[in-house]
Structure 1
Amino acid sequence: MTAQSTWLLTISFMVLCGAALAISGNLAVPLLGTSALLGGIVLIYLAAYYPFALAITFAASSMFRIHEALPILSPLRLPLILAAITAVSLLWHLVKGNLRSEWTSQTVWFVLFFGLVSFGVPLAASPSAAFSAWVDSFSKIFVMTLSVAWLVRNPHEFRSAARAIALFGLVVALVALRNKAIGVELVEDGRVTIGRSYGSILGDPNDLAFMLLPALGFAASLAFTAHSRVERFIFAGAGLLVLLAITYTRSRGGLVGCFALGAVLAYATMRSRSLATVVIVVLVVTLYIGMGLSSRLTAGSVNGKLDESAAGRIAMWSLATRVGLEHPVTGIGLANFEREAYRSSGKWKAVHNTWLSVMAESGIVGLGLFLGMVSATVYTLLAALRCLPLDSHIHRCMALGLLSSFAGLCGAGSFLSHGFSWPIYVLVGLTAALNSAIRSPVAEQPPRQTPVRQNPKSHRGISTTVSYPPPKAR
C-alpha cells in the first residue's frame, strides 16, 4: 500500500468516525473525539501493514465483550468499527494478492453453515428478529472467522493470538473479581456478573463463565509451554485469576466446562494417566465445593423433585427438539427460539443447550453442518497434537490451547445456548489458520507485497511443516 493510499483511507475513516460520534452525541467531548481520530489512524496503519494484529484484536475484544466489561469504551462503537475495518483490510489484501485464501475443512463447513442460516433469515418465524441478529452479530462473526483463518500464519502471529486471548480474558476476569469484592452486579445470593444493570451479555453468570473458558485454556497452555520462567509465572497467575472468576459465577455449565478443559490439559501434559485422573478429580471436587453447588442443587427442590431451573431446562429442550423436527431444513430462524418459548409457555427462555439451540434455529440440516464443523475442528487439533514435532513449540501451544478451550466450550455449551455467539467461531478460525500453517511450508507461501514487519528470530527452532501419517491400507 502506498503512502498516498494509506492517508486517503485514514482521512476517509476519520470522517466516518467523526460522523458516527456526531450521531451518537459524543462529538462534544474533545478527548473522546481526539481519541477516536487517533484510533482511526492506528487502525488504518494496522489494516495496511499488520492485518493479523487487527484481526486478532477484533476477535478477542468481540469474544470477551470488552466494550461491555469496560462501559467507558461503549461510545466508541468498537465492534462495528473493528468489523468494518477488518472486512476492508481482508478484501484489500485479497485483491492485492498479499494473502491467499486457503480453504480448510473448518472454513468449508463454516461457510456452508453460515449460508444456510443466512438463507433462513427471510423464512424465519420473525424475519425482523432474525435479520437484526444477523446484522448485529452473525455477519460480524463471518468476517472475523475468515479473517482469522486467512491472516494468521507464522509462529509469531500464533503466539500473539494466544497471548491476546489470555490477556483479554484476564481483563474480564479482573472486572468480575472487582464486582465480587465490592458487592455490585451480584445475583442469586452472590453469583458474580458484569454489566447486568445495562443489559450486557455478561450479565448472566452462566454466560460469563462460558466466555471466560477460552482465556483459561490459553493461559494454562502458555504456562505449560513457555520457556521463560517469567512468562510461565505471568500466565499461571492469569489462569488462576480466571479460574477464580469462573468459580464465583457458581455456574454448573462452567463446572462441566472446567472439567472438560482440565481433562484435555491433564492428559495432554502428564505422562502418568493415573496422576492425570487424580488431578482432574481433585479439580472438579474443589470447584464443586468452591462454587457451593450443593446448595444450588437442593435449593428449590421438594420431595426429591427437580428444582425449577432444571425442570425449566428440560422443558425447553423438549420444545427445541419439537421445533427442530417441525422445521428440519432452515429451523425456526436465527434468534427466534425465545419468541417461540414465550408463545408456548408465556416466558422468555433460552434453550440452555447449544446443540438443541442450533437445531431449533437452523433445523436438522443446520445441526448436521454445525456438527461437521465441530468434528473437523476437533480432528485437526487431535492430529496436530499427535503429529507435530516436539520443537514446534508455538504450534503445539496453540493446538493445546485450542483443543482444551474447545472441549470446555462444548462441555459448558451442553447447558448454555451459544451456537451463534463468538467464542466457538474464534476457535474455529484459529484452528483453520493452524491447519493451513502446519501443512504449508513457509517457502511455498506467496510473498507479501506489503512490507509486513516480522521478527526473524521468531522462526528459529520451529518447524512449519507436519507430515501427517498416511492412511492405513485396507
Structure 2
Amino acid sequence: MQLLNMQLPGIERLFLNRYQTITVAAYCLLAALPAVIMPHPLALMPLAVIPLGMIFLLKKPFVVCLIFILFSFFRLHEVIPQLTPLKIPLLTALGSYFVLAWHIILTQKVKVYWRQEHSKFARFFCWVVIGIAFSSFPPSSFESFTSVYMKIGIMVLAISWLMTEYWHFKLTHLLIICSGLIVGGVTLYNNANGIGMVEETRVTIPGTSLGDPNDLSLVLSFPMSYAVAVVTTKGTGRFLTLLGLIGIVVFVASILATQSRGGLLAVLAVFGIFGLRIIKSKLLLISIGSFAIVVLMAAAGISDRKSGGAQEEGLDESSMARIHAWEAAFNMGLRNPMTGVGLSMYLDNYWDYATHSRSEGKAHVTHSTWFQVMSESGFVGFILFIGMLVAIFLSIRRSLAKLDEQQESPDYDPHMSAIAVGTYAGLAGFCASGSFLSMGFLWPVYIMTAISIAIAQYMDTHHTSKNTIS
C-alpha cells in the first residue's frame, strides 16, 4: 500500500499533462494497427521511428511544410522516379495539415494573423469555389478543386503562418536553389543525351508534370531568380554566392535548352528587375536588354524550332495555335462573365467557343495564365486575380524598401534582402512567362504569394520603417 501511494503522484502528474496523455494514447493505437493488419514481427519495425517522426513533426513544423512545397513545385518525386513509392508529397501534406491544426488548436504556438494580402487571395479563391457550382460540368471542376486547388488554398495559409523565423527564410532560399539545381541538372542531362525531346530540339523531363518545355522553363525561372539574388546581394557568404553562380549557369542553360519563348521572357524579366536595382542609367539598361534579347534568341536556337522557327512563313503554327486558344478563352469569358466555364473546364468547352473549324487546327490549352483565369473564372475572377497580384507586388516592394533603408545600419540583413528581391524577381518572371503558359491554378504563383506574405509579416514584426510604398 505504501508503495502504491508513492507511485500515485507520478501517475497524477502524467494525466495532468493532457498533451502527453493524448500522445501516448495515439501511439498505443498506432502500435496495435500493424499487428492487426499484418500479424508479422516485421510489421512492428516501423514503430521504432514513429516517435522520432512525431517529435520532428511537432518540433519543426515548417520544415515539413517546406518539403511539401519543394516536392509540389519542382515535382522532385517525378524527376527522381526512385522517390515515387515513398509518397513524400502525400505524407508531407498530411503532416503539414496535422502540425498546423495541432499548433493552432492545442498548443497555440502558431500565431494566426490576417493581412490585406490574405484577403486579396481569399476573395479570388472563394470566387473560384463559387464558380464550381456554375461550372459547365461541376463534378469535373470539383474533382480538380479537391485534387489540387484546395491544397493550394490550405498551403498558402500554412506557409504564411508557419514561416516566421529568420532561419525559415534562409533555409527556404537555400533549398529552392538546390531543388532547382536537381531539375536543371536532369534537364541538361536529358538534353545532352537526347532524352524526352519535343520537336527534336526542345528538351523536357518525360513522364512528369514537366513534360512540356514551357512548363519546365517556368519552374526553372523561380530558383534562377533566387540564384541571381544571392549573387548580387553582398554579405550572403561565399558558399551561397558560389552556389548562386553555379545555379545561374545551370538555370539559364536549361531554359535555353527548352527553346521556350515564355522562358526567355522570364529570364529577361528576372535579370531586368536586378538591372533596375543595380544600373542607374535607364538608357544603358534598355540597350543591354535589347542586346540580351538577340543573344538569348540565338543561343536558344529559336529559329531552329519546328514550330515557331524561321522556316515558317507568316504566322507560325505555334503563334496561330495561341491566337485560336486566346480567342476561345475570351469568348468563354465574354459569354460567362461572372464565373466563366468553371475550374479546369477550358479544354472541354474549347470547340463550343472556338472561332476556327476543326479542320484548321486542334484544341489547345490556353497558353496564357491571363486568358486561362478569364475563361475559367470569368471577368470577375480575372479582376480579382489581377488585384491579388498587384497587392503582392506592392507588399514585396514595401518589404524591399524597409530592407534598403537599413543597408547602412547594423540591423541590415543581407539574407532577408536576398530572399525578398528573389521573390520579387520570381513574381515578375512568372508574369512575363505566364503570358504564354497556363499556370493560373497551379502552384508557382501561390507559393510566391505565401512567401511574400510571410516576408511582409516578418518585416512588420521585426523591423520598422519611416517611409512606406503604397
**Cα distance 1:298–1:277, how it changes in 2: closer, same or farther (>3 A)?**
same
Matched, 1:350 2:350: no
Q: Name the structure 2 match of 1:445.
A: none
Residue 241 (str. 1) matches residue 250 (str. 2): yes
Distance 2:44 2:218 in 1: 35
CA distance in 2, matches of 1:334, 1:101: 29
Q: 1:270 to 1:470 in 2, by over 3 A?
A: closer
Residue 58 of structure 2, aligned match among 48, 54, 63: 48
Structure 2 partner of 1:220? 228
CA distance in 2, matches of 1:181, 1:167: 21
After superposition, where does 1:196-235 map in structure 2 within 5 Å? 198=207, 200-225=208-233, 226-235=235-244
Which residue of structure 1 lines up, in the alignment, with residue 339 of structure 2?
Answer: 330
Gap regions ≥5 residues in structure 2 = 1-17
Deviates more, 1:114-123 or 1:314-323: 114-123
- Shift of residue 227 of structure 1? 3.2
- Of 63, 71, 75, the residue aligned with 2:73 is 63
Aligned residue for 1:437? 458
User: For residues 48-447 of structure 1, what are the structure 2 equivalents within 5 Å?
Assistant: 48-95=58-105, 96-195=107-206, 198=207, 200-225=208-233, 226-296=235-305, 297-299=308-310, 301-302=312-313, 305-343=314-352, 344=354, 347-388=362-403, 389-390=406-407, 391-441=412-462
Q: Deviations over 1:106-162 (max 9, x none)?
A: 211111211111122232112222122111111111121111111112221111111
C-alpha spacing 1:72/1:238, structure 2 compared with 1 (3 Å): same
Aligned residue for 1:457? none
Q: Residues 349 and 9 of structure 1: is their aligned pair in 2 closer, same or farther, counting only changes over 3 Å?
A: farther
Secondary structure of 2:210's aligned partner: helix
- Superposed CA deviations along residues 351-382 of structure 1, whole A, max 9, x for unmatched, are 11101100110111111111111000111122
> Residues 380 and 135 of structure 1: is their aligned pair in 2 closer, same or farther, counting only changes over 3 Å?
same
**Counterparts in 2 of 1:41 and 1:439: CA distance versus 1, 3 Å:** same
**CA-to-aligned-CA distance 1:184-212 (integer Å, 9 cap, x gap):** 111112211012xx3x2200000100111
Q: CA distance change for structure 1 residues 180 and 14 in 2, over 3 Å: closer, same or farther?
A: farther
Q: Which amino acid aligns with 1:249?
A: T
Q: Deviation string for 1:216-254 (max 9, x for gaps)? A: 011111222243223211221122111111110000110
Whether the aligned pair in 2 keeps the contact of 1:328 and 1:363 (CA below 8 Å) is yes
CA distance in 2, matches of 1:376, 1:38: 47
Q: What's the RMSD between the two structures over aligned residues?
A: 2.9
Secondary structure in structure 2 of the residue aligned to 1:189: coil
C-alpha distance in structure 2 between counterparts of 1:14 and 1:316, whole Å: 55
Look up the match of 1:459. none
Q: Distance in 2 between matches of 1:369 and 1:256?
A: 24
Greater gyration radius: 2
Residues matched between the structures, number? 435
Residues 1:470 and 1:120: Cα distance change in structure 2 (over 3 Å): closer
Q: Is the 8 A contact 2:369 2:434 kept in 1?
A: yes
Q: For each residue in 1:411-453, what CA deviation from the matched residue of structure 2 results, as whole angstroms up to 9, or x when unmatched?
A: 0000111000101000000001011111113xxxxxxxxxxxx
CA drift of 1:272 comes to 4.8
Answer yes or no: is the 8 Å Cα contact 1:217–1:405 preserved in 2: yes
Change (3 A) 1:437 1:326: same
- For residues 394 and 188 of structure 1, the distance between their equivalents in structure 2, rounded to whole angstroms, comes to 41
- Native 8 Å contact 1:105 1:373 kept in 2: no
> Could you tell me whether the CA contact under 8 Å between 2:347 and 2:363 is conserved in 1?
yes
User: Aligned equivalents of 2:254 and 2:46: distance in 1?
Assistant: 32
Do the aligned partners of residues 82 and 10 (structure 1) sit closer, same or farther apart at CA in structure 2, a change above 3 Å counting?
Answer: farther
Preserved contact between residue 34 and residue 44 of structure 2 (Cα < 8 Å): no
| Secondary structure in 1 matching 2:132 | coil
CA distance in 2 between partners of 1:6 and 1:466 (Å) = 44
1:466 counterpart SS class = coil
- Return closer, same or farther for 1:92/1:325 CA change in 2, 3 Å cut-off: same
1:404: how far off? 0.5
**Percent of aligned pairs with the same amino acid:** 30
Structure 1 residue 47: deviation in Å? 2.6
Which residue is 1:446 aligned to? none
Q: Greater relative contact order: 1 or 2 (C-alpha under 8 angstroms, separation 6 or more)?
A: 1
Give the Å deviation of 1:270.
Answer: 3.7
CA distance in 2, matches of 1:362, 1:231: 41
SS at match of 1:417: coil
Q: CA deviation at 1:13?
A: 7.5
- The residue that corresponds to 1:448 in the other structure is none
- Kindly state the Cα deviation for residue 40 of structure 1 after the two structures are TM-superposed: 6.2
C-alpha distance in structure 1 between counterparts of 2:330 and 2:153, whole Å:
26
Q: 1:214 to 1:294 in 2, by over 3 A?
A: same
> Does the 8 Å CA contact 1:36/1:76 hold for their aligned counterparts?
no
Deviation at 1:2, TM superposition (A): 4.9
Asked if the contact 2:117/2:392 (under 8 Å) is kept, the reply is: yes
Q: CA deviation at 1:306?
A: 0.5
- DSSP 3-state at the match of 2:441: coil
Instruction: Give, in whole Å, the separation in 1 of the partners of 2:186 and 2:310.
Output: 28
Matching residue's letter, 1:469: T
Q: How many angstroms does 1:4 deviate by? A: 5.6
Aligned equivalents of 2:257 and 2:110: distance in 1?
44
For 1:240, the aligned partner's letter is V
